[in-house]
């Protein structure tokens, strides 16, 4: 028996309106509705961010390849993935006013230079998701250049690194808990090392065709190129702060 869509009035045979896409199951708003709405729309628990994180931690390369091959309904959108995790990490670091990178600055550093570095870190963490979205295309470019003979174009590399960067932010977020409680530079070094290892692991899973050591070398070259490009951008940002925030 056909029903009429409560949104547009169209006659509906199945579960969703063919005209506007709304479900015909639109009951009253109650506690059950709100609970489902929070899970589905905000966290998208059933087939979204938590599922995506789990898959990217267990079998990252295969998960990303599935997404690139068109199997996308179960995964959280890549750019939203970076934005949410980046915003969370930036908010926590900015809220507690403790920046891991500041522990790498020597104690005998010039006071004025240290002040500029602190100011830059405050700005970066205050706009962390924007910074990561800006750096992701640069990092993806390095991967595309090194693996340019693969079947993936630059924009597909951009999707790869959106997921990779998202998990790297998650690793930094876990490491930040230990850093904040113990204030040890070793937590910064360890989390950075784990992030690099994760990056290499993903690229091996995506691009290895049986002989993984060769892929690992190319992945390392890609990371080095990404480091050079990122250093260039970071230096430009540092110069910007010294010129306009004196």
Please report, in tens digits, the pLDDT of each residue of the chain (246 residues total): 667 877 788 888 888 888 887 777 776 656 776 666 655 655 554 457 888 999 999 999 999 999 999 988 888 889 889 988 988 988 888 787 776 765 555 555 555 555 666 676 677 777 777 888 888 999 999 999 999 988 999 999 999 999 999 999 999 888 888 887 777 778 878 888 999 999 999 999 999 887 889 999 999 999 999 989 888 877 776 677 667 655
What is the number of other CB atoms lying within 10 angstroms of the CB of residue 33?
Answer: 12
Per-residue confidence (pLDDT) for residue 186, from 0 to 100: 80
| Angle, vertex CA 26, rays to CA 20 and CA 31, nearest 5 | 135
What is the number of other CB atoms lying within 10 angstroms of the CB of residue 175?
Answer: 20
Q: What is the pTM of this model?
A: 0.76
What CA–CA distance (Å, rounded) separates 124 from 57?
26
Q: Which residue has the tokens 């190129």?
A: 225
Are 145 and 225 a contacting pair, CB within 8 Å?
A: yes
Domain ranges of the chain: 1-43, 46-244
What letter does residue 16 receive in the DSSP assignment? Answer: B
HSE-up (13 A, CA, CB side) for residue 242: 10
Per-residue confidence (pLDDT) for residue 207, from 0 to 100: 93
What CA–CA distance (Å, rounded) separates 246 from 240?
10
């Amino acid at each position: 028996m056909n029903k009429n869509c409560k949104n547009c009035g169209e006659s509906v045979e199945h579960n969703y309106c063919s005209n506007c896409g709304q479900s015909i199951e639109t009951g009253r708003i109650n506690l059950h509705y709100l609970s489902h709405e929070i899970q589905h729309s905000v966290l998208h628990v059933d087939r979204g961010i938590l599922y995506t994180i789990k898959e990217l931690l267990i079998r990252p390369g295969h998960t990303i390849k599935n997404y690139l091959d068109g199997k996308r309904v179960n995964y959280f959108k890549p750019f939203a993935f970076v934005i949410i995790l980046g915003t969370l990490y930036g908010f926590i670091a900015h809220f507690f006013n403790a920046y891991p990178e500041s522990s790498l600055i020597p104690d005998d550093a010039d006071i004025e230079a240290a002040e500029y570095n602190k100011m830059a870190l405050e700005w970066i963490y205050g706009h962390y998701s924007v910074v990561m979205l800006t750096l992701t295309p640069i990092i993806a470019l390095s991967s595309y250049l090194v693996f340019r003979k693969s079947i993936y174009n630059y924009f597909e590399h951009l999707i790869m690194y959106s997921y990779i960067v998202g998990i790297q932010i998650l690793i930094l977020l876990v490491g930040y808990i230990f850093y904040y409680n113990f204030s040890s530079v070793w937590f910064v070094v360890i989390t950075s090392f784990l992030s690099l290892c994760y990056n290499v692991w993903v690229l091996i899973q995506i691009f290895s065709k049986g002989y993984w050591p060769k892929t690992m070398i190319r992945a390392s070259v890609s990371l080095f190129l990404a480091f050079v490009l990122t250093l260039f951008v970071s230096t430009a940002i540092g110069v910007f702060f010294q010129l306009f925030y004196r």
